[in-house]
């Protein structure tokens, strides 16, 4: 039996209390100490002590509020967002993206580097270290401190050890301890996660699922992945990874998928699958006023479908039905409050969402699906916002906060 001991030692209680106070200031600021005390149910003396520490570290600041009724100015507190910055990394199959955001999630800097065709993790590691050192060095600012590094990868990460277990494009002989090595080398707290799971978290912090306890995000890009948020947390499970909706079979006689099986959702609805299918249709003599053999990328296909182009509309509807079938299974299992679709394909939202909705209604439990909105993601900077969300989580759950307060 695997037991899950939770030991409430003094340091842990301190960390939790600081986190509760910081979270209230972050989400509800400007807020007074009295309000914090009331909402957190912490004693006023504890709130005073915690806010003193947070003020001393510069993580929060005092602002003067309007005259209160008694004529005295009340002092409220807000989170400091400009004085701290986060370094964000997206390690893709062919590119590495480095970016910087301040704590308001404002993108301050971004660079995309081509990744040489390395076959081994240690080669990529050396490349990353070298370029990251330059990136951090050139972006140092006297008045703004780097507080953490966030990394997302298109693979599986063991959440307890932060090691990468699996990447689709690279054979790992053993779990890759990239994040811990980066943390050590750059002396910054480093958080790592699966790209789509992290995006679902970002959607929950900054996007359209902010108001939900439970939500499901389906990301359609080069591949197809999903992130499930349950009770405000990304659902990962003991085995660290849940939500591979892209590898549910929708076509038993379909194409071979990267995972080795055939006819996975990904082989039908990923951007390249849609583009390939359109290419085939055009080659077979289907005609379109808006598309040609030279110009039929995903954006052009979406635009054409928005103009009621017959072949584009037909294809997007087919894609919507396949997505809807897989989402219907997920709705029956998780019954999310909201389903979010992220990716270029949402540009064909009118046609796509109608097809998904229709299929959902035919395949999922009506009482579940009736009240579940289907929405398009509106997040900016999808490539790096997930990495930022991992850092934000560290602030809100207290783990990063505690490190900042004690260093
Ligand atoms: Zn597959």
User: What is the CATH classification number for the domain harbouring 196?
Assistant: 3.30.420.40
Quote the distance between the C-alpha of residue 358 and its chain's center. 27
**Cβ neighbourhood burial of 260 (10 Å; 0-12, 13-18, 19+):** exposed
Predicted confidence band of residue 71 (pLDDT cuts 50, 70, 90): low
- Is 2 inside any structural domain? no
Q: How far away, in angstroms, is 226 Cα from ligand 1 center?
A: 13
Q: How many residues does the chain have?
A: 407
As a whole number of Å, the CA-based R_g of the chain is: 24
Closest CA to 216 of 63, 328, 77, 348: 328
pLDDT of residue 132: 98
Q: How far away, in angstroms, is 223 Cα from ligand 1 center?
A: 9
Q: How far away, in angstroms, is 249 Cα from ligand 1 center?
A: 8
Distance between CA atoms of 325 and 331, rounded to whole angstroms? 10
- Is 155 inside any structural domain? yes
Q: How far away, in angstroms, is 243 Cα from ligand 1 center?
A: 13
- Is 280 inside any structural domain? yes
DSSP string across 289-304: SS--SS---HHHHHHH
Q: How far away, in angstroms, is 14 Cα from ligand 1 center?
A: 45
Same domain? For 241 and 304 the reply is yes
Q: How far away, in angstroms, is 257 Cα from ligand 1 center?
A: 5
In the predicted structure, residue 234 carries a pLDDT above the cut 80? yes
Predicted confidence band of residue 1 (pLDDT cuts 50, 70, 90): low
Predicted confidence band of residue 73 (pLDDT cuts 50, 70, 90): low
Q: How far away, in angstroms, is 269 Cα from ligand 1 center?
A: 12
3-state secondary structure of 150: strand
Long-range contacts of 223-226 (CB under 8 A, 24+ apart): 223/154, 223/168, 223/258, 223/266, 223/270, 224/265, 224/266, 224/269, 224/270, 225/154, 225/194, 225/195, 225/196, 225/197, 226/196, 226/200, 226/330
Residues near 260 by beta carbon (within 8 Å), at least 6 away in sequence: none
Q: How far away, in angstroms, is 12 Cα from ligand 1 center?
A: 41
Question: What would the pLDDT profile of 258-286 be if each residue is shown by its tens digit?
Answer: 999 999 999 999 999 999 999 999 999 99
The whole-chain average pLDDT of the chain stands at 94
Q: How far away, in angstroms, is 322 Cα from ligand 1 center?
A: 14
Please give the C-alpha separations between residue 154 and each of 90, 197, 283, 384, 405, in angstroms, as whole numbers: 9, 10, 33, 12, 32
The count of structural domains within the chain is 3
Query: How many C-beta atoms lie closer than 10 Å to residue 355's C-beta?
Result: 20
Q: How far away, in angstroms, is 55 Cα from ligand 1 center?
A: 50
Q: How far away, in angstroms, is 351 Cα from ligand 1 center?
A: 26
H-type alpha helices, 93-189: 121-138, 178-186
Tell me which residue range forms the domain holding 107: 84-200+384-406
CA angle 76, 79, 83 (to 5 degrees): 130
In the predicted structure, residue 65 carries a pLDDT above the cut 90? no
Same domain? For 229 and 300 the reply is yes
Q: How far away, in angstroms, is 319 Cα from ligand 1 center?
A: 16
Same domain? For 253 and 337 the reply is yes
H-type alpha helices, 207-344: 266-269, 271-283, 298-306, 310-334
- Is 363 inside any structural domain? yes
Question: What would the pLDDT profile of 129-140 be if each residue is shown by its tens digit?
Answer: 999 999 999 999
- Is 18 inside any structural domain? yes
Same domain? For 37 and 118 the reply is no
Q: How far away, in angstroms, is 244 Cα from ligand 1 center?
A: 9
pLDDT of residue 66: 61
Last residue of a domain, one of 27, 45, 79: 79
- Is 248 inside any structural domain? yes
- The number of C-alpha atoms within 13 Å of 362 and in the hemisphere containing its C-beta is 12
- Is 172 inside any structural domain? yes
Q: How far away, in angstroms, is 263 Cα from ligand 1 center?
A: 7
Distance between CA atoms of 251 and 323, rounded to whole angstroms? 12
Q: How far away, in angstroms, is 260 Cα from ligand 1 center?
A: 6
Q: How far away, in angstroms, is 216 Cα from ligand 1 center?
A: 19
In the predicted structure, residue 109 carries a pLDDT above the cut 60? yes
Same domain? For 75 and 40 the reply is yes
The terminus-to-terminus CA distance of the chain in angstroms comes to 38
Same domain? For 394 and 351 the reply is no
Distance between CA atoms of 98 and 95, rounded to whole angstroms? 10
Same domain? For 172 and 318 the reply is no
Predicted confidence band of residue 205 (pLDDT cuts 50, 70, 90): very high
Q: How far away, in angstroms, is 266 Cα from ligand 1 center?
A: 7
For the chain, percent of residues with pLDDT exceeding 90: 88
CATH number at residue 46: 1.10.10.10
Strand order in the sheet with 107-114: 107-114, 95-102, 84-91, 145-153, 189-194
pLDDT of residue 74: 74
pLDDT of residue 70: 60
Q: How far away, in angstroms, is 107 Cα from ligand 1 center?
A: 34
Same domain? For 313 and 399 the reply is no
Q: How far away, in angstroms, is 231 Cα from ligand 1 center?
A: 28
The residues pairing with 312 across neighbouring beta strands, listed in sequence order, are: none
Last residue of a domain, one of 45, 79, 113: 79
User: Do residues 109 and 137 touch, judged by C-beta distance below 8 A?
Assistant: no
Q: Tell me what the mean pLDDT of segment 40-53 comes to.
A: 96
Query: For residue 184, what is the DSSP state?
Result: H
pLDDT of residue 12: 85
Same domain? For 274 and 361 the reply is yes
Q: How far away, in angstroms, is 224 Cα from ligand 1 center?
A: 9
In the predicted structure, residue 68 carries a pLDDT above the cut 60? no
pLDDT of residue 237: 87
Same domain? For 65 and 139 the reply is no
Same domain? For 54 and 184 the reply is no
In the predicted structure, residue 85 carries a pLDDT above the cut 80? yes
Q: How far away, in angstroms, is 165 Cα from ligand 1 center?
A: 18
Q: Tell me what the mean pLDDT of segment 343-355 comes to.
A: 97
- Is 5 inside any structural domain? no
Same domain? For 188 and 221 the reply is no
């Amino acid at each position: 039996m695997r037991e899950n001991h939770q030991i409430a030692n003094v340091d842990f209680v301190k960390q939790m209390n600081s986190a509760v106070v910081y979270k209230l200031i972050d989400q509800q600021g400007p807020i007074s100490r009295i309000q914090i005390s009331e909402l957190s149910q912490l004693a006023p003396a504890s709130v005073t002590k915690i806010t003193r520490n947070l003020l001393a570290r510069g993580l929060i600041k005092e602002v003067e509020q309007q005259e209160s009724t008694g004529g005295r100015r009340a002092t409220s507190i807000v989170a400091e967002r400009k004085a701290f910055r986060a370094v964000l990394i997206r390690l893709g199959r062919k590119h590495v993206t480095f970016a910087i955001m301040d704590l308001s999630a404002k993108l301050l800097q971004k660079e995309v580097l081509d990744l040489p065709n390395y076959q081994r993790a240690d080669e990529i590691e050396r490349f990353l270290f070298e370029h990251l050192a330059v990136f951090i060095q050139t972006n140092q600012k006297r008045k703004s401190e780097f507080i953490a590094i966030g990394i997302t990868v298109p693979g599986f990460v063991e959440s307890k050890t932060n090691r990468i277990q699996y990447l689709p494009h690279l054979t790992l002989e053993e779990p890759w301890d990239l994040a811990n090595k980066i943390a050590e080398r750059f002396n910054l707290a480093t958080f790592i996660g699966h790209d789509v799971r992290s995006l679902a978290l970002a959607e929950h912090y900054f996007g359209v699922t902010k108001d939900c306890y439970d939500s499901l995000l389906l990301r359609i890009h080069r591949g197809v992945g999903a992130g499930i948020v349950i009770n405000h947390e990304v659902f990962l499970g003991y085995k660290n990874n849940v939500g591979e909706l892209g590898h549910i079979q929708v076509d038993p006689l379909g194409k071979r998928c990267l995972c080795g099986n055939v006819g996975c959702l990904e082989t039908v609805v990923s951007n390249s699958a849609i583009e390939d299918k359109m290419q085939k249709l055009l080659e077979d003599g289907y005609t379109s006023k808006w598309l040609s053999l030279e110009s039929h990328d995903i954006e052009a296909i979406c635009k054409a479908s928005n103009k009621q182009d017959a072949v584009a509309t037909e294809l997007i509807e087919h894609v919507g039905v396949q997505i809807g079938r897989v989402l219907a299974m997920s709705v029956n299992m998780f019954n999310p409050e909201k389903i979010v679709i992220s990716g270029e394909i949402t540009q064909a939202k009118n046609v796509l969402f109608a097809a998904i909705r229709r299929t959902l209604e035919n395949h999922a439990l009506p009482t579940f699906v009736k009240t579940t909105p289907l929405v398009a993601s509106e997040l900016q900077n999808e490539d790096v916002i997930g990495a930022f969300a991992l850092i934000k989580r560290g602030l809100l759950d207290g783990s990063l906060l505690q490190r900042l307060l004690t260093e």
